[in-house]
Amino acid sequence: MIAFVLIGVFFGLLLLRVPVAASMGLAALAGILNMGFKISVFPTVFYAAIARYTLLAIPFFIVAGVIMDHAGISRRLIDFANACVGHRKGGLAVVTVIVACFFAAISGSGPATVAAIGGVLIPAMVRQGYDKDFATALVASSGGIGMIIPPSIPFIIYAMLADVSVGTMFIAGIVPGILFGAFFSIAALICLHRDTNVVRQERQPASVRWRTFREALWALLMPAIILGGIYGGVFTPTEAAGVAVVYGLFVGIFVYREIEIRRLWRIFVEASVSSAVIMFIMGCAGAFTWILTTSGVAGQLTGALLSVTRDRTAMLLLITLIFLIAGCFVDSASGFYLLMPILLPIVKEMNYSLIAFGVIATANFAIGQVTPPVGSNLFVACNIAKISMRALVAKVWPFIIAGALCLLLITFLPWLITFLPAAMGMRF
């Protein structure tokens, strides 16, 4: 009965176009009342889902990303990357992917990465003869790398749910993030192979490359400070997020001088809104997960999946399919809370690395950010480029295919994920 109530209310509300977070919260509330608990249980489990020290890193990294965006970091990263490879055919497309990787290492968010680089790179590509729909699709797809390149907000959420090290997750995401960037770059170059409208820009002299490098150096140092500090034991991931905020303020106010003191209020309000949305999603999802686990529904669903097959390869393909379908409808935070109580016991029984599984799950939801109908990156990119969703979806499929191929590669070769943490002596 409880399973019918939970699933029925959740999907019923989704069909009525109620937001995913609200649907999960209302379904959890219905489940709590159906099991005979008092309504006061809901705010208790809602608060318990977000009242964790580790999760403090999320609003801090969001603030850091907003600060670095307002500080002109994205423009300087674009100038540097463009000076290095912009003169090649399709060079600006490769620049887009490279800049997305670097800005992802600052923001930790896919939509934030799209918003930061899209306003500059989409018009720049159009001026050089790139198809506007293609340029927008590339920016939207590249923004998904923001979920994989550390620091990653989904990694923090997964680490809390799976009880693994956030620092290890960060290090494990480096190689897969680079691989996704490489696959997207190759896909872009293949699409542009016969495009005669694309104009090459002139090769920049060494003096320009050196100047743009010096200007972008402060941005390039941020990931090194964050990851180096975590690995070196100087600070925890949560403390690293606070350091990132202080560093961003220093760079924006005193180095680049593009952030005025009177603008700080606007920056903090913008970051607070984004943080509040994520925390609301996590609170509702946490309540849904609690009732899912407490009622025994999660265990029943786990048993049902294990009854389908116990073959490791087949199970991995089935789990990947589940994640890809879920990514079309829910965000990563909701998806983790919804699916992890069901899938983590299966992963443990298969003796598959929890660290590798976390990266794979995140990569699935990264692809989900550019798959309709609920692709958050698509909506952000459409708003920036002022194009229709239909036109964008028609151009994004080569990058979805490239992402899926990269996903299969790291899924069945998990050592690509784990070898770097292992080489650094991390336990997992």
Residue 57 and residue 52: Cα distance in Å, rounded? 10
Residue 334 forms part of a structural domain: yes
* Averaged pLDDT for residues 88-101: 78
* Per-residue model confidence (pLDDT) at position 408: 92
Helix (H, G, I), strand (E, B) or coil at 152: coil
Q: Look up residue 423 and give its amino acid.
A: A
Answer yes or no: are the C-beta atoms of 153 and 58 closer than 8 Å. Answer: yes
- How buried is residue 50: exposed, middle or buried, by Cβ count under 10 Å (0-12/13-18/19+)? middle
* Per-residue model confidence (pLDDT) at position 359: 94
CA 359 vs CA 21, 141, 172: distances in Å: 23, 17, 7
Name the band, by pLDDT with cuts 50, 70 and 90, for residue 322: confident
Residue 250 forms part of a structural domain: yes
* Per-residue model confidence (pLDDT) at position 195: 63
Residue 136 forms part of a structural domain: yes
Residue 2 and residue 31: Cα distance in Å, rounded? 6
Residue 407 and residue 397: Cα distance in Å, rounded? 15
- Summarize the chain as % helix, strand, coil (round to 5): 80, 0, 20
| Distance, C-alpha 217 to centroid of its chain | 24
Q: How many CB atoms lie within 10 A of CB 88?
A: 15
Q: What residues contact 166, with CB distance under 8 A and at least 6 apart?
A: 54, 57, 155, 156, 159, 236, 237, 238
Tokens of 273: 């809104």
* Per-residue model confidence (pLDDT) at position 356: 92
CA 229 vs CA 57, 106, 240: distances in Å: 14, 15, 7
Residue 27 and residue 15: Cα distance in Å, rounded? 13
Q: Look up residue 345 and give its amino acid.
A: P
Q: How many CB atoms lie within 10 A of CB 359?
A: 28
Name the band, by pLDDT with cuts 50, 70 and 90, for residue 62: confident
Helix (H, G, I), strand (E, B) or coil at 86: coil
Residue 428 forms part of a structural domain: no
Name the band, by pLDDT with cuts 50, 70 and 90, for residue 86: low
**pLDDT tens-place string over residues 240-256:** 888 888 888 888 888 88
Residue with tokens 């996903």, as numbered in its chain: 407
Structural domain boundaries, residue 20? 2-423
- How buried is residue 329: exposed, middle or buried, by Cβ count under 10 Å (0-12/13-18/19+)? middle
Name the band, by pLDDT with cuts 50, 70 and 90, for residue 361: very high
CA 221 vs CA 224, 226, 281, 396: distances in Å: 5, 9, 32, 32
* Per-residue model confidence (pLDDT) at position 409: 94
- How many domains would you assign to the chain? 1
**pLDDT tens-place string over residues 124-167:** 778 778 888 888 888 888 888 878 888 788 888 899 888 888 88
* Averaged pLDDT for residues 160-182: 89
Length of the chain: 428
Q: What residues contact 397, with CB distance under 8 A and at least 6 apart?
A: none
Rg (CA), the chain: 22
Residue 405 forms part of a structural domain: yes
Q: How many CB atoms lie within 10 A of CB 43?
A: 11
Crossing angle for the helix pair 332-350 and 153-162, to the nearest 10 degrees = 40
Residue 255 and residue 252: Cα distance in Å, rounded? 6
